[in-house]
């Protein structure tokens, strides 16, 4: 993990938040390359679950919602962790992670108390109980409260789903492991509504589908596994849940949970809002509450897992080569254009012209700040799938060398054909 953290900082993937003020506990900022990677991960997810399917539509709901939402959903009552305080040093711990004495000073611990993990804030100028609102701890509720809006405006019939990507906030007691567990994070969630009785079959299909998504984008099969939740781990709304886990440096840990939420949420919101969120089935002419299968993944964890999985060190001619074998769809920069000699203006001009032609079609980087060997190493380390080198011969034969990241194979192509060639190579 230290290697990845250091690469992320050195190369502009992820920085400590508020670093110039000494940082802010467990918060991270995505740098120029991290922002690209994160956008690409979200785009790959959106494309697989919204664009490539005709049974799922997207949504982008507000982070702040009516506080009653969180009463109805059960989060005010049940979204809690048991905590203990040390009577001596006053530090606070999760009860399930400590023994009888304080792990910091050996002092006596208090009885466990339930601590709600939702962040509270105040809406408007008066900071009283009536103005309390919560930062959403999951994006899912924005989908449930819009179930009828989406179903009627998009004329959807069961089974269908609603997908959403957005920030969620939890006042985690033990954040850590870099971006794995933080208090502010981003989720990619689908609520997939099905006829009761078909839920178990759909649950199975979604488990397979979501597992396959990670390998489609290059995550190694041997680093992924499925794990069923024990009854005592299940969230208050779930009947059963499977996690897709990744073999992180700290051990197997959850990337995504795929839960059967039954009709719990739609029933709760119907009861609390007095708006009927049941569904009229035109085929059977019955009215019922759909069951919900929920694949819910974390963007930040997925980004971290893709980075870890892509990281390779290899020996090339007595030298260590660090290469990020990111899937081309995820790589932040798709091509780097490198002039072999930076003190030859005509050569620099050809390279700059090519980069300008590539930019409207893909993320392109022009770099002439080091020797070609160093420039290649830099691009390998950030995972750029292709480098194009313009050399002295290019001035006469109007060709340039395209180098592929993983095989390091080189082909010489007419410069005019390079943009189409790369678009073709990068298609997914």
> SS3 string of the chain?
CHHHHHHHHHCCCEEECCHHHCCCCCCEEECHHHHHHHHHHHHHHHHHHHHCCCCEEEECCCCECCCHHHHHCCHHHHCEEEEEEECCCCCEEEHHHCCCECCCCCCEECCCEEEECCCEEECCCCCCHHHEEEECCCCHHHHHCCHHHHHHHCCCCCCEEEEEEEEEECCCCCCECCCCECCEEEEEEEEEEECCCCHHHHHHHHHHHHHHHHHHCCCCHHHEEEEECCHHHCCCCCCEEEEEEEEECCEEEEEEEEEEEECHHHHHHHHHHCCCCCEEECCCCEEECCEEEEEEEEHHHHHHHHHHHHEEEEEECCEEEEEECCCCCCCCCCEEEEECCCCCHHHHHHHHHHHHHHCCCCCEEECCCCCHHHHHHHHHHHCCCEEEEECCCHHHHCEEEEEECCCCCEEEEEHHHHHHHHHHHCCC
Strands 224-228 and 184-194, by their bridges, are: unpaired
Q: Tokens 């002295």 appear where?
A: 392
CB of 296 to ligand GAP, least distance (A): 4
CB of 226 to ligand GAP, least distance (A): 13
Report CA-CA distances (Å) from 168 to 27, 66, 301: 13, 15, 13
State the Cα torsion 355-357-359-360 to the nearest 10°.
180
CB of 162 to ligand GAP, least distance (A): 13
- Comparison of 38 and 334: residue with beta carbon closer to ligand GAP: 38
- Comparison of 156 and 181: residue with beta carbon closer to ligand GAP: 181
- Comparison of 36 and 254: residue with beta carbon closer to ligand GAP: 254
- Comparison of 268 and 379: residue with beta carbon closer to ligand GAP: 268
- Comparison of 64 and 408: residue with beta carbon closer to ligand GAP: 64
CB of 356 to ligand GAP, least distance (A): 39
Contact partners, residue 418, CB within 8 Å, separation at least 6? 354, 358, 388, 400, 402
CB of 227 to ligand GAP, least distance (A): 12
CB of 135 to ligand GAP, least distance (A): 13
CB of 235 to ligand GAP, least distance (A): 6
- Comparison of 62 and 126: residue with beta carbon closer to ligand GAP: 62
CB of 257 to ligand GAP, least distance (A): 4
- Comparison of 209 and 381: residue with beta carbon closer to ligand GAP: 209
- Comparison of 85 and 294: residue with beta carbon closer to ligand GAP: 294
- Comparison of 36 and 256: residue with beta carbon closer to ligand GAP: 256
CB of 268 to ligand GAP, least distance (A): 14
**Chain residue whose CB lies nearest ligand GAP:** 298
Residues of this chain that bind ligand GAP (CB under 6 A): 138, 140, 170, 172, 181-182, 185, 187, 189, 254-257, 294, 296-298, 300-301
- Comparison of 241 and 351: residue with beta carbon closer to ligand GAP: 241
CB of 26 to ligand GAP, least distance (A): 9
Give the span between the Cα atoms of 216 and 224, in whole angstroms: 12
């Amino acid at each position: 993990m230290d290697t990845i953290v250091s690469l992320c900082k050195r190369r502009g993937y992820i920085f400590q938040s508020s670093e110039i003020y000494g940082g802010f506990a467990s918060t991270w900022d995505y740098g120029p390359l991290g922002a690209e990677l994160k956008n690409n991960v979200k785009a790959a997810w959106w494309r697989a679950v919204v664009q490539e399917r005709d049974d799922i539509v997207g949504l982008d709901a507000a982070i702040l919602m009516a506080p009653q939402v969180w009463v109805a959903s059960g989060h005010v009552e049940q979204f809690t962790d048991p905590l203990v305080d040390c009577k001596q040093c006053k530090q606070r711990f999760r009860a399930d992670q400590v023994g009888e004495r304080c792990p910091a000073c050996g002092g006596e611990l208090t009885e466990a108390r339930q601590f709600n993990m939702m962040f509270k804030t105040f809406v408007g100028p008066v900071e009283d109980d009536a103005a309390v609102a919560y930062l959403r701890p999951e994006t899912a509720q924005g989908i449930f409260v819009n179930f009828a809006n989406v179903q009627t405006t998009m004329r959807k019939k069961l089974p269908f789903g609603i997908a959403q990507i957005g920030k969620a906030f939890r006042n985690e007691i033990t954040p850590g492991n870099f971006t794995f567990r933080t208090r502010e994070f981003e989720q990619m969630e689908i609520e997939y509504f099905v006829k009761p009785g078909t839920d178990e079959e759909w649950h199975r299909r979604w488990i397979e589908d979501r597992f396959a998504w990670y390998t489609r984008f290059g995550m190694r099969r041997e680093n992924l596994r499925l794990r069923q939740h024990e009854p005592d781990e299940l969230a208050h709304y779930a009947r059963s849940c499977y996690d897709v886990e990744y073999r992180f440096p700290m051990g197997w840990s959850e990337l995504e949970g795929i839960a059967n939420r039954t009709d719990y949420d739609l029933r709760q919101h119907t009861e609390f809002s007095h708006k009927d969120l049941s569904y009229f089935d035109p085929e059977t002419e019955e009215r019922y509450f759909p069951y919900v299968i929920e694949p819910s993944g974390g963007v930040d964890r997925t980004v971290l897992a893709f980075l870890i999985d892509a990281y390779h060190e290899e020996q090339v001619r007595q030298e260590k080569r660090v290469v990020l074998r990111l899937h081309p769809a995820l790589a932040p920069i798709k091509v780097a254009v490198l002039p072999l000699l930076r003190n030859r203006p005509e050569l620099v001009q050809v390279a700059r012209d090519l980069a300008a032609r590539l930019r409207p079609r893909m993320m392109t980087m022009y770099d002439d700040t080091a020797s070609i060997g160093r420039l290649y190493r830099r691009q390998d380390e950030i995972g750029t799938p292709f480098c194009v080198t313009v050399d002295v011969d290019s001035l006469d034969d109007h060709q340039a060398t395209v180098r592929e990241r993983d095989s390091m194979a080189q082909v010489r192509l007419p410069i005019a054909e390079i943009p189409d060639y790369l678009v073709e190579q990068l298609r997914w």
